[in-house]
A and B are shown apart, each in its own frame.
Chain A
Amino acid sequence: MTSLIEKHAPRTHDEKHRIRSKVQRREHLTGWLFVGPFGVVFLAFLIAPLAYALYLSLFQKKLIGGTSFVLFDNYVKAFTDPSFLSGAWFVVRFALIAIPVQIAVALAMALILDAVTSLFTRFSRLMIFLPYAIPTVIGAVMWGFLYSRSFGPLSDVFGLFGATAPDFLSSNLIFYGLLNIVTWQWAGYYMIILYAALQGIDPTLYEAARMDGAGRWQVARRIKIPLIAPALILILVFSLIGTLQFFNEPQFLRYLAAGTIGSDFTPNMYAYQQAFGLANFNYGSAISFALGGLVFICVYAFLFFTRKRRSFL
Protein backbone atom coordinates (compact mmCIF):
# COMPACT_ATOMS: atom_id res chain seq x y z
CA MET A 1 0.00 0.00 0.00
CA THR A 2 2.61 2.53 1.13
CA SER A 3 5.04 1.70 -1.68
CA LEU A 4 2.26 2.25 -4.18
CA ILE A 5 1.60 5.72 -2.87
CA GLU A 6 5.33 6.61 -2.83
CA LYS A 7 5.76 5.56 -6.44
CA HIS A 8 3.06 7.86 -7.69
CA ALA A 9 4.09 10.47 -5.17
CA PRO A 10 2.62 13.85 -6.13
CA ARG A 11 -1.09 13.38 -6.63
CA THR A 12 -3.43 15.99 -7.87
CA HIS A 13 -6.31 16.92 -5.67
CA ASP A 14 -8.67 15.52 -8.24
CA GLU A 15 -7.03 12.11 -8.25
CA LYS A 16 -7.12 11.85 -4.46
CA HIS A 17 -10.75 12.75 -4.47
CA ARG A 18 -11.55 10.09 -7.02
CA ILE A 19 -9.79 7.39 -5.02
CA ARG A 20 -11.45 8.44 -1.81
CA SER A 21 -14.89 8.41 -3.35
CA LYS A 22 -14.21 4.97 -4.80
CA VAL A 23 -13.25 3.65 -1.36
CA GLN A 24 -16.29 5.34 0.07
CA ARG A 25 -18.56 3.82 -2.50
CA ARG A 26 -17.15 0.38 -1.62
CA GLU A 27 -17.85 1.05 2.04
CA HIS A 28 -21.39 2.18 1.25
CA LEU A 29 -21.98 -0.98 -0.68
CA THR A 30 -20.55 -3.38 1.95
CA GLY A 31 -22.43 -1.50 4.67
CA TRP A 32 -25.69 -1.95 2.84
CA LEU A 33 -24.90 -5.60 2.15
CA PHE A 34 -24.65 -6.22 5.88
CA VAL A 35 -27.74 -4.22 6.75
CA GLY A 36 -29.72 -5.19 3.65
CA PRO A 37 -31.13 -8.60 4.64
CA PHE A 38 -32.51 -7.16 7.86
CA GLY A 39 -33.73 -4.16 5.87
CA VAL A 40 -35.77 -6.43 3.60
CA VAL A 41 -37.42 -8.14 6.58
CA PHE A 42 -37.94 -4.75 8.20
CA LEU A 43 -39.72 -3.40 5.13
CA ALA A 44 -41.75 -6.55 4.59
CA PHE A 45 -42.89 -7.21 8.16
CA LEU A 46 -42.86 -3.79 9.76
CA ILE A 47 -43.14 -0.91 7.29
CA ALA A 48 -45.47 -2.66 4.85
CA PRO A 49 -47.92 -3.96 7.51
CA LEU A 50 -47.95 -0.56 9.21
CA ALA A 51 -48.70 1.22 5.95
CA TYR A 52 -51.31 -1.38 5.08
CA ALA A 53 -52.96 -1.11 8.50
CA LEU A 54 -53.13 2.64 8.08
CA TYR A 55 -54.68 2.17 4.65
CA LEU A 56 -57.20 -0.38 5.91
CA SER A 57 -58.17 1.82 8.81
CA LEU A 58 -59.36 4.51 6.42
CA PHE A 59 -62.06 2.29 4.92
CA GLN A 60 -65.34 0.91 6.14
CA LYS A 61 -67.15 -2.19 4.99
CA LYS A 62 -70.89 -1.80 4.90
CA LEU A 63 -73.54 -4.37 4.21
CA ILE A 64 -74.94 -2.12 1.53
CA GLY A 65 -72.57 -0.45 -0.89
CA GLY A 66 -69.45 -2.52 -0.05
CA THR A 67 -66.19 -1.02 1.10
CA SER A 68 -65.87 2.74 0.99
CA PHE A 69 -63.26 5.33 1.88
CA VAL A 70 -64.24 7.09 5.09
CA LEU A 71 -61.00 8.88 6.08
CA PHE A 72 -60.90 9.12 9.88
CA ASP A 73 -64.40 7.86 10.63
CA ASN A 74 -63.03 4.65 12.17
CA TYR A 75 -60.85 6.68 14.50
CA VAL A 76 -63.73 8.93 15.46
CA LYS A 77 -65.69 5.76 16.11
CA ALA A 78 -62.88 4.24 18.18
CA PHE A 79 -62.41 7.30 20.35
CA THR A 80 -66.12 7.40 21.10
CA ASP A 81 -66.44 3.62 21.47
CA PRO A 82 -66.90 2.78 25.17
CA SER A 83 -65.29 -0.64 24.61
CA PHE A 84 -62.07 0.88 23.25
CA LEU A 85 -62.04 3.69 25.77
CA SER A 86 -62.59 1.47 28.80
CA GLY A 87 -59.87 -0.91 27.55
CA ALA A 88 -57.46 1.97 26.96
CA TRP A 89 -58.27 3.40 30.38
CA PHE A 90 -57.65 -0.01 31.94
CA VAL A 91 -54.18 -0.45 30.38
CA VAL A 92 -53.14 3.11 31.25
CA ARG A 93 -54.29 2.63 34.84
CA PHE A 94 -52.64 -0.77 34.95
CA ALA A 95 -49.38 0.67 33.57
CA LEU A 96 -49.38 3.45 36.17
CA ILE A 97 -49.59 0.91 39.01
CA ALA A 98 -47.92 -2.20 37.63
CA ILE A 99 -44.76 -0.62 36.19
CA PRO A 100 -43.66 1.17 39.39
CA VAL A 101 -44.43 -1.99 41.39
CA GLN A 102 -42.43 -4.23 39.06
CA ILE A 103 -39.48 -1.86 38.88
CA ALA A 104 -39.46 -1.24 42.63
CA VAL A 105 -39.43 -4.99 43.32
CA ALA A 106 -36.75 -5.55 40.67
CA LEU A 107 -34.60 -2.70 41.96
CA ALA A 108 -34.86 -3.84 45.58
CA MET A 109 -33.88 -7.37 44.61
CA ALA A 110 -31.00 -6.19 42.41
CA LEU A 111 -29.66 -3.98 45.22
CA ILE A 112 -29.86 -6.83 47.74
CA LEU A 113 -28.17 -9.25 45.34
CA ASP A 114 -25.48 -6.69 44.57
CA ALA A 115 -24.77 -5.94 48.23
CA VAL A 116 -24.97 -9.42 49.72
CA THR A 117 -22.77 -12.16 48.33
CA SER A 118 -23.27 -15.78 49.28
CA LEU A 119 -24.05 -19.11 47.73
CA PHE A 120 -27.69 -18.53 48.61
CA THR A 121 -27.86 -15.16 46.81
CA ARG A 122 -26.42 -16.74 43.67
CA PHE A 123 -29.09 -19.44 43.86
CA SER A 124 -31.77 -16.80 44.53
CA ARG A 125 -30.72 -14.78 41.50
CA LEU A 126 -31.42 -17.72 39.20
CA MET A 127 -34.70 -18.65 40.90
CA ILE A 128 -36.00 -15.08 40.71
CA PHE A 129 -35.10 -14.94 37.03
CA LEU A 130 -36.76 -18.31 36.31
CA PRO A 131 -40.26 -16.93 35.47
CA TYR A 132 -38.80 -15.07 32.49
CA ALA A 133 -38.19 -18.44 30.83
CA ILE A 134 -41.88 -19.28 31.22
CA PRO A 135 -44.23 -18.31 28.37
CA THR A 136 -46.52 -15.55 29.65
CA VAL A 137 -49.57 -17.63 28.86
CA ILE A 138 -48.23 -20.55 30.91
CA GLY A 139 -47.48 -18.14 33.77
CA ALA A 140 -51.06 -16.93 33.56
CA VAL A 141 -52.34 -20.53 33.63
CA MET A 142 -50.20 -21.39 36.66
CA TRP A 143 -51.47 -18.40 38.61
CA GLY A 144 -54.98 -18.98 37.36
CA PHE A 145 -54.82 -22.42 38.98
CA LEU A 146 -53.49 -20.94 42.21
CA TYR A 147 -56.35 -18.43 42.23
CA SER A 148 -58.91 -21.05 41.27
CA ARG A 149 -61.68 -21.91 43.71
CA SER A 150 -61.85 -25.52 42.56
CA PHE A 151 -58.22 -26.54 42.89
CA GLY A 152 -56.22 -23.60 44.20
CA PRO A 153 -54.66 -23.53 47.66
CA LEU A 154 -55.97 -20.09 48.65
CA SER A 155 -59.16 -21.39 50.24
CA ASP A 156 -57.16 -23.94 52.27
CA VAL A 157 -54.65 -21.35 53.44
CA PHE A 158 -57.29 -18.81 54.39
CA GLY A 159 -59.46 -21.57 55.86
CA LEU A 160 -56.74 -22.21 58.44
CA PHE A 161 -57.46 -18.78 59.88
CA GLY A 162 -61.20 -19.15 59.48
CA ALA A 163 -61.28 -16.51 56.77
CA THR A 164 -62.79 -16.54 53.29
CA ALA A 165 -60.22 -16.56 50.51
CA PRO A 166 -60.17 -13.57 48.18
CA ASP A 167 -61.20 -14.44 44.63
CA PHE A 168 -58.57 -12.88 42.39
CA LEU A 169 -60.59 -13.91 39.35
CA SER A 170 -63.62 -11.83 40.37
CA SER A 171 -64.20 -8.49 38.73
CA ASN A 172 -63.30 -6.66 41.94
CA LEU A 173 -59.89 -8.23 42.34
CA ILE A 174 -58.85 -9.19 38.79
CA PHE A 175 -56.73 -6.02 38.62
CA TYR A 176 -54.63 -7.30 41.54
CA GLY A 177 -54.64 -10.83 40.23
CA LEU A 178 -53.12 -9.60 36.96
CA LEU A 179 -50.77 -7.22 38.79
CA ASN A 180 -49.37 -10.15 40.73
CA ILE A 181 -48.94 -12.23 37.55
CA VAL A 182 -47.01 -9.58 35.61
CA THR A 183 -44.84 -8.75 38.60
CA TRP A 184 -44.01 -12.43 39.02
CA GLN A 185 -43.33 -12.76 35.30
CA TRP A 186 -41.15 -9.71 34.67
CA ALA A 187 -39.54 -8.53 37.93
CA GLY A 188 -36.82 -11.17 37.64
CA TYR A 189 -35.90 -10.15 34.10
CA TYR A 190 -35.68 -6.49 35.06
CA MET A 191 -33.71 -7.50 38.14
CA ILE A 192 -31.09 -9.23 35.96
CA ILE A 193 -30.67 -6.15 33.75
CA LEU A 194 -30.35 -3.86 36.78
CA TYR A 195 -28.04 -6.32 38.52
CA ALA A 196 -25.76 -6.45 35.47
CA ALA A 197 -25.67 -2.64 35.44
CA LEU A 198 -24.87 -2.55 39.17
CA GLN A 199 -22.04 -5.03 38.70
CA GLY A 200 -20.57 -2.73 36.09
CA ILE A 201 -20.11 0.13 38.56
CA ASP A 202 -16.52 0.74 39.59
CA PRO A 203 -16.37 -0.46 43.24
CA THR A 204 -13.70 2.09 44.19
CA LEU A 205 -16.58 4.61 44.20
CA TYR A 206 -18.07 2.73 47.17
CA GLU A 207 -14.77 2.79 49.03
CA ALA A 208 -14.54 6.53 48.58
CA ALA A 209 -18.12 7.02 49.77
CA ARG A 210 -17.54 4.78 52.78
CA MET A 211 -14.51 6.80 53.77
CA ASP A 212 -16.71 9.89 53.63
CA GLY A 213 -18.95 8.12 56.13
CA ALA A 214 -21.78 7.07 53.81
CA GLY A 215 -23.85 4.12 55.03
CA ARG A 216 -25.08 1.22 52.94
CA TRP A 217 -28.42 2.90 52.26
CA GLN A 218 -26.79 6.17 51.25
CA VAL A 219 -24.42 4.39 48.88
CA ALA A 220 -27.41 2.72 47.26
CA ARG A 221 -29.44 5.90 46.99
CA ARG A 222 -26.75 8.40 46.01
CA ILE A 223 -24.33 6.30 43.95
CA LYS A 224 -25.87 3.07 42.75
CA ILE A 225 -29.34 4.23 41.67
CA PRO A 226 -28.18 7.37 39.81
CA LEU A 227 -25.50 5.38 38.00
CA ILE A 228 -27.93 2.77 36.73
CA ALA A 229 -30.53 5.37 35.67
CA PRO A 230 -30.05 4.55 31.95
CA ALA A 231 -30.84 0.88 32.64
CA LEU A 232 -33.87 1.87 34.70
CA ILE A 233 -35.18 4.06 31.88
CA LEU A 234 -34.61 1.29 29.35
CA ILE A 235 -36.69 -1.22 31.30
CA LEU A 236 -39.34 1.41 32.02
CA VAL A 237 -39.75 2.00 28.30
CA PHE A 238 -39.99 -1.72 27.58
CA SER A 239 -42.47 -2.36 30.33
CA LEU A 240 -44.55 0.61 29.17
CA ILE A 241 -44.70 -0.74 25.62
CA GLY A 242 -45.51 -4.24 26.86
CA THR A 243 -48.16 -3.19 29.37
CA LEU A 244 -50.11 -0.98 26.97
CA GLN A 245 -50.27 -3.96 24.59
CA PHE A 246 -51.56 -6.25 27.33
CA PHE A 247 -53.09 -9.33 25.69
CA ASN A 248 -51.73 -12.77 26.57
CA GLU A 249 -52.50 -12.98 30.28
CA PRO A 250 -56.08 -11.64 30.26
CA GLN A 251 -56.88 -13.56 27.05
CA PHE A 252 -55.78 -16.79 28.71
CA LEU A 253 -57.45 -16.09 32.03
CA ARG A 254 -60.78 -15.56 30.29
CA TYR A 255 -61.32 -19.32 30.41
CA LEU A 256 -60.87 -19.45 34.16
CA ALA A 257 -62.49 -16.11 34.93
CA ALA A 258 -65.60 -16.45 32.86
CA GLY A 259 -67.67 -13.29 32.98
CA THR A 260 -64.94 -11.17 34.58
CA ILE A 261 -62.80 -10.60 31.50
CA GLY A 262 -64.77 -9.60 28.44
CA SER A 263 -63.53 -9.57 24.87
CA ASP A 264 -62.92 -5.80 25.11
CA PHE A 265 -60.91 -5.99 28.34
CA THR A 266 -57.82 -4.40 26.73
CA PRO A 267 -57.52 -2.53 23.38
CA ASN A 268 -55.46 -5.36 21.93
CA MET A 269 -58.07 -7.95 22.88
CA TYR A 270 -60.74 -5.72 21.39
CA ALA A 271 -58.77 -5.34 18.14
CA TYR A 272 -58.29 -9.10 18.02
CA GLN A 273 -61.99 -9.67 18.62
CA GLN A 274 -62.98 -7.18 15.90
CA ALA A 275 -60.55 -8.55 13.31
CA PHE A 276 -60.62 -12.29 13.94
CA GLY A 277 -63.89 -12.75 15.76
CA LEU A 278 -66.07 -10.46 13.64
CA ALA A 279 -63.91 -10.26 10.47
CA ASN A 280 -64.06 -6.48 10.76
CA PHE A 281 -60.46 -5.88 9.69
CA ASN A 282 -60.92 -2.19 8.96
CA TYR A 283 -62.08 -1.32 12.43
CA GLY A 284 -59.63 -3.79 14.00
CA SER A 285 -56.76 -2.05 12.17
CA ALA A 286 -58.00 1.34 13.30
CA ILE A 287 -58.03 0.16 16.91
CA SER A 288 -54.55 -1.30 16.75
CA PHE A 289 -53.30 1.84 15.04
CA ALA A 290 -54.94 4.00 17.69
CA LEU A 291 -53.27 1.78 20.31
CA GLY A 292 -49.94 2.23 18.51
CA GLY A 293 -50.49 5.99 18.66
CA LEU A 294 -51.19 5.75 22.37
CA VAL A 295 -47.95 3.80 22.90
CA PHE A 296 -45.97 6.34 20.88
CA ILE A 297 -47.38 9.26 22.82
CA CYS A 298 -46.75 7.62 26.18
CA VAL A 299 -43.20 6.53 25.30
CA TYR A 300 -42.22 9.89 23.84
CA ALA A 301 -43.76 11.77 26.74
CA PHE A 302 -41.81 9.56 29.10
CA LEU A 303 -38.56 9.96 27.17
CA PHE A 304 -39.11 13.70 27.00
CA PHE A 305 -39.45 14.00 30.76
CA THR A 306 -36.38 11.86 31.40
CA ARG A 307 -34.22 13.16 28.54
CA LYS A 308 -31.45 14.40 30.82
CA ARG A 309 -30.75 10.94 32.16
CA ARG A 310 -31.08 9.13 28.88
CA SER A 311 -28.01 7.72 27.27
CA PHE A 312 -29.07 4.46 25.70
CA LEU A 313 -30.45 5.88 22.47
Chain B
Amino acid sequence: MSHHSSASAGHRRPQRHLPLQILLGFLVIYFLVPFWWVIVNSSKDAPGLFGGGNTLWFADQINYLGNLEQLFTYDGGIYVRWILNSTLYALAGGVGATVLAVMAGYGFAKYRFAARRFSFAVVLGALMVPATALVIPTFIMFAQLGLTNTVWAVILPSLLNPFGVYLMHVYARDAVPDEILDAARVDGAGEARTFLQIALPLMRPAVVTVLLLSAVASWNNYFLPLAMLSDNRLFPVTVGLGLWQGVASANNAGGTSLWSLIILGSLVSVIPLIIAFFSLQRHWRGGLSVGGLR
Protein backbone atom coordinates (compact mmCIF):
# COMPACT_ATOMS: atom_id res chain seq x y z
CA MET B 1 0.00 0.00 0.00
CA SER B 2 2.83 2.35 0.79
CA HIS B 3 4.45 2.22 -2.62
CA HIS B 4 1.75 4.09 -4.47
CA SER B 5 2.45 7.51 -3.00
CA SER B 6 6.05 7.48 -4.14
CA ALA B 7 4.99 5.87 -7.40
CA SER B 8 2.56 8.59 -8.37
CA ALA B 9 5.35 11.10 -7.96
CA GLY B 10 7.89 9.06 -9.86
CA HIS B 11 6.85 6.35 -12.29
CA ARG B 12 3.31 7.48 -12.90
CA ARG B 13 3.42 10.61 -15.00
CA PRO B 14 0.52 13.00 -14.52
CA GLN B 15 -1.82 12.61 -17.50
CA ARG B 16 -4.26 15.25 -18.69
CA HIS B 17 -6.44 13.48 -21.17
CA LEU B 18 -8.95 16.20 -22.07
CA PRO B 19 -11.88 14.14 -23.50
CA LEU B 20 -11.83 11.90 -20.45
CA GLN B 21 -11.85 14.93 -18.16
CA ILE B 22 -14.85 16.35 -20.02
CA LEU B 23 -16.66 13.00 -19.71
CA LEU B 24 -15.84 13.08 -16.02
CA GLY B 25 -17.30 16.57 -15.84
CA PHE B 26 -20.64 15.32 -17.12
CA LEU B 27 -20.59 12.47 -14.62
CA VAL B 28 -19.94 14.92 -11.78
CA ILE B 29 -22.91 17.01 -12.92
CA TYR B 30 -25.09 13.87 -12.89
CA PHE B 31 -24.02 12.99 -9.37
CA LEU B 32 -24.60 16.53 -8.13
CA VAL B 33 -27.98 17.25 -9.77
CA PRO B 34 -30.12 15.92 -6.88
CA PHE B 35 -28.08 17.94 -4.37
CA TRP B 36 -28.45 21.03 -6.53
CA TRP B 37 -32.21 20.52 -6.81
CA VAL B 38 -32.58 20.14 -3.06
CA ILE B 39 -30.36 23.16 -2.33
CA VAL B 40 -32.22 25.52 -4.65
CA ASN B 41 -35.67 24.25 -3.81
CA SER B 42 -35.23 24.55 -0.07
CA SER B 43 -34.95 28.28 -0.71
CA LYS B 44 -38.61 28.34 -1.76
CA ASP B 45 -41.79 28.64 0.21
CA ALA B 46 -44.70 26.33 -0.57
CA PRO B 47 -46.34 28.48 -3.30
CA GLY B 48 -42.94 28.96 -4.98
CA LEU B 49 -42.38 25.20 -4.92
CA PHE B 50 -45.62 24.38 -6.69
CA GLY B 51 -45.69 27.50 -8.84
CA GLY B 52 -43.64 25.73 -11.49
CA GLY B 53 -41.08 27.50 -13.64
CA ASN B 54 -37.52 27.67 -12.40
CA THR B 55 -37.30 24.21 -10.87
CA LEU B 56 -33.50 24.26 -11.13
CA TRP B 57 -32.91 27.76 -9.80
CA PHE B 58 -33.38 29.65 -6.54
CA ALA B 59 -36.59 31.39 -5.61
CA ASP B 60 -36.91 35.08 -6.37
CA GLN B 61 -37.22 35.70 -2.68
CA ILE B 62 -34.85 33.37 -0.93
CA ASN B 63 -36.58 31.95 2.09
CA TYR B 64 -33.93 29.77 3.79
CA LEU B 65 -34.26 31.39 7.19
CA GLY B 66 -38.04 31.22 7.20
CA ASN B 67 -37.97 27.58 6.09
CA LEU B 68 -35.30 26.67 8.65
CA GLU B 69 -37.30 28.29 11.41
CA GLN B 70 -40.39 26.40 10.31
CA LEU B 71 -38.44 23.13 10.08
CA PHE B 72 -37.02 23.45 13.57
CA THR B 73 -40.27 24.52 15.21
CA TYR B 74 -42.86 22.43 13.36
CA ASP B 75 -44.77 20.07 15.65
CA GLY B 76 -42.87 21.22 18.74
CA GLY B 77 -39.44 20.90 17.15
CA ILE B 78 -39.81 17.21 16.39
CA TYR B 79 -37.25 17.44 13.57
CA VAL B 80 -34.48 18.47 15.96
CA ARG B 81 -35.36 15.46 18.07
CA TRP B 82 -35.11 13.16 15.08
CA ILE B 83 -31.65 14.50 14.25
CA LEU B 84 -30.56 13.99 17.87
CA ASN B 85 -32.00 10.45 17.82
CA SER B 86 -30.15 9.66 14.60
CA THR B 87 -26.96 10.99 16.19
CA LEU B 88 -27.46 8.83 19.26
CA TYR B 89 -28.16 5.69 17.19
CA ALA B 90 -25.22 6.33 14.87
CA LEU B 91 -22.77 7.04 17.71
CA ALA B 92 -23.88 4.24 20.06
CA GLY B 93 -24.32 1.69 17.28
CA GLY B 94 -21.19 2.80 15.45
CA VAL B 95 -18.85 2.92 18.45
CA GLY B 96 -20.23 -0.29 19.96
CA ALA B 97 -20.05 -2.23 16.70
CA THR B 98 -16.51 -0.96 16.09
CA VAL B 99 -15.22 -1.95 19.53
CA LEU B 100 -16.63 -5.46 19.12
CA ALA B 101 -15.40 -5.82 15.54
CA VAL B 102 -11.87 -4.59 16.31
CA MET B 103 -11.49 -6.98 19.25
CA ALA B 104 -12.92 -9.92 17.34
CA GLY B 105 -10.94 -9.24 14.16
CA TYR B 106 -7.73 -8.97 16.18
CA GLY B 107 -8.59 -12.14 18.12
CA PHE B 108 -9.26 -14.10 14.95
CA ALA B 109 -6.06 -12.85 13.32
CA LYS B 110 -3.61 -13.16 16.19
CA TYR B 111 -4.63 -16.06 18.42
CA ARG B 112 -4.88 -19.77 17.74
CA PHE B 113 -7.84 -21.11 19.66
CA ALA B 114 -10.31 -23.94 19.51
CA ALA B 115 -12.93 -23.67 16.75
CA ARG B 116 -11.26 -20.52 15.41
CA ARG B 117 -11.45 -21.45 11.74
CA PHE B 118 -14.98 -22.74 12.08
CA SER B 119 -16.16 -19.60 13.93
CA PHE B 120 -14.58 -17.32 11.37
CA ALA B 121 -16.22 -19.26 8.54
CA VAL B 122 -19.58 -18.81 10.28
CA VAL B 123 -18.96 -15.04 10.55
CA LEU B 124 -18.14 -14.91 6.84
CA GLY B 125 -21.30 -16.85 6.06
CA ALA B 126 -23.22 -14.26 8.06
CA LEU B 127 -22.14 -11.61 5.56
CA MET B 128 -24.63 -13.20 3.22
CA VAL B 129 -27.58 -13.26 5.58
CA PRO B 130 -29.97 -10.50 4.52
CA ALA B 131 -30.04 -8.12 7.48
CA THR B 132 -33.71 -7.43 6.95
CA ALA B 133 -34.55 -11.13 7.30
CA LEU B 134 -33.50 -10.73 10.93
CA VAL B 135 -35.82 -7.84 11.68
CA ILE B 136 -39.07 -9.79 12.03
CA PRO B 137 -37.84 -12.41 14.55
CA THR B 138 -35.80 -9.77 16.42
CA PHE B 139 -38.95 -7.67 16.69
CA ILE B 140 -40.89 -10.54 18.29
CA MET B 141 -38.04 -11.39 20.65
CA PHE B 142 -37.79 -7.74 21.71
CA ALA B 143 -41.56 -7.51 22.07
CA GLN B 144 -41.47 -10.38 24.54
CA LEU B 145 -38.71 -8.63 26.49
CA GLY B 146 -40.61 -5.33 26.41
CA LEU B 147 -37.78 -3.69 24.45
CA THR B 148 -39.66 -2.62 21.34
CA ASN B 149 -40.32 1.07 21.03
CA THR B 150 -37.21 1.89 23.09
CA VAL B 151 -33.84 3.17 21.92
CA TRP B 152 -32.35 -0.26 22.71
CA ALA B 153 -34.42 -1.85 19.97
CA VAL B 154 -32.45 0.19 17.45
CA ILE B 155 -29.03 0.26 19.15
CA LEU B 156 -28.59 -3.39 20.18
CA PRO B 157 -29.07 -5.02 16.74
CA SER B 158 -26.76 -2.35 15.24
CA LEU B 159 -23.88 -3.76 17.30
CA LEU B 160 -23.65 -6.66 14.87
CA ASN B 161 -21.18 -5.93 12.07
CA PRO B 162 -19.68 -9.11 10.56
CA PHE B 163 -18.15 -7.15 7.68
CA GLY B 164 -16.27 -5.05 10.22
CA VAL B 165 -14.87 -8.22 11.78
CA TYR B 166 -13.78 -9.45 8.36
CA LEU B 167 -12.13 -6.11 7.54
CA MET B 168 -10.33 -5.94 10.89
CA HIS B 169 -9.19 -9.54 10.57
CA VAL B 170 -7.60 -8.92 7.17
CA TYR B 171 -6.03 -5.68 8.34
CA ALA B 172 -4.71 -7.01 11.66
CA ARG B 173 -3.26 -10.06 9.93
CA ASP B 174 -1.21 -7.91 7.56
CA ALA B 175 -0.49 -4.73 9.51
CA VAL B 176 0.38 -6.13 12.95
CA PRO B 177 3.52 -8.31 12.84
CA ASP B 178 3.61 -11.21 15.31
CA GLU B 179 7.22 -10.31 16.19
CA ILE B 180 6.20 -6.94 17.67
CA LEU B 181 3.51 -8.61 19.78
CA ASP B 182 5.94 -11.27 20.99
CA ALA B 183 8.51 -8.61 21.83
CA ALA B 184 5.93 -6.75 23.90
CA ARG B 185 5.02 -9.96 25.72
CA VAL B 186 8.66 -10.72 26.46
CA ASP B 187 8.92 -7.22 27.92
CA GLY B 188 6.17 -8.23 30.31
CA ALA B 189 3.16 -6.47 28.79
CA GLY B 190 -0.09 -8.32 29.35
CA GLU B 191 -2.37 -9.29 26.47
CA ALA B 192 -4.70 -6.34 27.05
CA ARG B 193 -1.84 -3.84 27.16
CA THR B 194 -0.23 -5.35 24.06
CA PHE B 195 -3.53 -4.95 22.25
CA LEU B 196 -4.25 -1.41 23.40
CA GLN B 197 -0.76 0.11 23.15
CA ILE B 198 0.90 -1.84 20.34
CA ALA B 199 -1.73 -3.34 18.03
CA LEU B 200 -4.44 -0.69 18.16
CA PRO B 201 -2.28 2.20 16.86
CA LEU B 202 -1.13 0.00 13.97
CA MET B 203 -4.73 -0.80 13.05
CA ARG B 204 -5.93 2.82 13.14
CA PRO B 205 -6.87 3.29 9.44
CA ALA B 206 -9.04 0.18 9.52
CA VAL B 207 -10.57 1.20 12.87
CA VAL B 208 -11.59 4.60 11.47
CA THR B 209 -13.01 2.91 8.37
CA VAL B 210 -15.07 0.42 10.36
CA LEU B 211 -16.26 3.19 12.68
CA LEU B 212 -17.35 5.33 9.75
CA LEU B 213 -19.03 2.45 7.92
CA SER B 214 -20.91 1.30 11.04
CA ALA B 215 -21.96 4.84 11.93
CA VAL B 216 -23.19 5.44 8.37
CA ALA B 217 -25.04 2.13 8.40
CA SER B 218 -26.80 3.11 11.65
CA TRP B 219 -27.53 6.64 10.47
CA ASN B 220 -28.97 5.34 7.20
CA ASN B 221 -30.91 2.48 8.74
CA TYR B 222 -34.57 2.59 7.86
CA PHE B 223 -36.06 -0.91 8.00
CA LEU B 224 -35.07 -1.69 11.59
CA PRO B 225 -36.33 1.52 13.28
CA LEU B 226 -39.40 1.52 11.04
CA ALA B 227 -40.31 -1.91 12.37
CA MET B 228 -39.24 -1.39 15.99
CA LEU B 229 -40.50 2.08 16.85
CA SER B 230 -44.02 3.39 17.05
CA ASP B 231 -43.46 6.54 19.15
CA ASN B 232 -42.47 9.24 16.68
CA ARG B 233 -40.36 11.00 19.33
CA LEU B 234 -37.93 8.06 19.11
CA PHE B 235 -37.72 8.08 15.29
CA PRO B 236 -34.42 8.66 13.53
CA VAL B 237 -34.57 11.30 10.82
CA THR B 238 -34.99 8.73 8.00
CA VAL B 239 -38.18 7.29 9.48
CA GLY B 240 -39.34 10.76 10.49
CA LEU B 241 -39.09 12.14 6.97
CA GLY B 242 -40.94 9.04 5.76
CA LEU B 243 -43.72 9.84 8.19
CA TRP B 244 -43.94 13.41 6.84
CA GLN B 245 -43.95 12.10 3.30
CA GLY B 246 -46.86 9.84 4.06
CA VAL B 247 -48.79 12.72 5.66
CA ALA B 248 -47.98 15.11 2.83
CA SER B 249 -49.07 12.67 0.09
CA ALA B 250 -52.21 11.55 1.87
CA ASN B 251 -53.31 15.14 2.37
CA ASN B 252 -52.37 16.96 -0.80
CA ALA B 253 -54.13 20.25 -0.16
CA GLY B 254 -53.21 20.83 3.47
CA GLY B 255 -49.88 19.06 3.13
CA THR B 256 -48.27 21.45 0.69
CA SER B 257 -46.29 23.29 3.33
CA LEU B 258 -44.94 19.97 4.57
CA TRP B 259 -43.24 19.33 1.21
CA SER B 260 -40.94 22.31 1.64
CA LEU B 261 -40.08 21.02 5.13
CA ILE B 262 -39.30 17.58 3.70
CA ILE B 263 -36.98 19.07 1.08
CA LEU B 264 -35.09 21.23 3.57
CA GLY B 265 -35.18 18.39 6.11
CA SER B 266 -33.50 16.08 3.59
CA LEU B 267 -30.81 18.67 2.97
CA VAL B 268 -30.12 19.32 6.66
CA SER B 269 -30.07 15.58 7.46
CA VAL B 270 -27.23 14.83 5.02
CA ILE B 271 -24.93 17.63 6.18
CA PRO B 272 -23.49 15.81 9.27
CA LEU B 273 -22.42 12.75 7.28
CA ILE B 274 -20.91 14.80 4.47
CA ILE B 275 -18.85 16.70 7.05
CA ALA B 276 -17.78 13.43 8.72
CA PHE B 277 -16.70 11.91 5.41
CA PHE B 278 -14.73 14.90 4.24
CA SER B 279 -12.98 15.54 7.52
CA LEU B 280 -11.98 11.88 7.98
CA GLN B 281 -11.09 11.31 4.32
CA ARG B 282 -7.40 10.82 4.96
CA HIS B 283 -8.13 7.94 7.36
CA TRP B 284 -10.84 5.93 5.64
CA ARG B 285 -9.25 5.86 2.18
CA GLY B 286 -6.44 3.63 3.45
CA GLY B 287 -8.88 1.31 5.17
CA LEU B 288 -11.33 0.87 2.29
CA SER B 289 -8.73 -0.63 0.03
CA VAL B 290 -8.23 -3.54 2.42
CA GLY B 291 -11.50 -5.35 1.86
CA GLY B 292 -11.13 -5.56 -1.87
CA LEU B 293 -7.49 -5.90 -2.51
CA ARG B 294 -6.17 -8.94 -0.75
Point out residues on A near B: beta carbons under 8 Å.
Answer: 1, 24, 27-35, 37-39, 41-42, 44-46, 48-50, 52-53, 56, 109, 112-113, 115-118, 120-121, 123-124, 126-139, 141-143, 145-146, 150-153, 156, 184, 188, 192-194, 196-197, 199-200, 202-204, 206-207, 228, 230-231, 234-235, 237, 241, 244-245, 247-248, 251-252, 255-256, 258, 268, 271-272, 275-276, 281, 284-285, 288-289, 291-292, 295-296, 299, 311-313
Contact = CB atoms under 8 A, between A and B. Distances in A.
Given A41-B100, A50-B129, A146-B33, A56 B140 contact: yes
Interface string B38-56: 1001000000011011011
The residue among A31, A56, A247 with the most chain B CB atoms within 10 A of its own CB is A31
A108 B91 CA distance: 35
Contacts of A133: 216, 270, 273-274, 276-277
B277 A116 contact: no
Contact of B157 (A45, A121, A145, A299): A45
B132 A121 contact: no
Nearest to A286: B136
Given A42-B126, A45-B157, 14 more contacts: A31-B116, A32-B113, A37-B104, A112-B24, A120-B25, A124-B25, A152-B55, A196-B293, A202-B3, A206-B11, A206-B12, A231-B291, A268-B130, A284-B136
B131 interface: yes
Contact of B130 (A152, A206, A245): A245
Interface residues of B, number: 107
8 contacts: A27-B112, A33-B107, A41-B160, A45-B156, A48-B141, A153-B56, A268-B130, A292-B133
A121 B21 contact: yes
B74 interface: no
B103 A37 contact: yes
A306 to B, nearest CB: 14
Contacts, number: 311
B130 A292 contact: yes
A288 B274 contact: no
B28 A145 contact: no
B222 A34 contact: no
A250 to B, nearest CB: 12
B242 interface: yes
B110 to A, nearest CB: 8
A49 B141 contact: yes
Which 6 interchain pairs have the tightest Cβ spacing?
Answer: A34-B107, A231-B292, A31-B111, A196-B289, A31-B113, A38-B104
A58 to B, nearest CB: 13
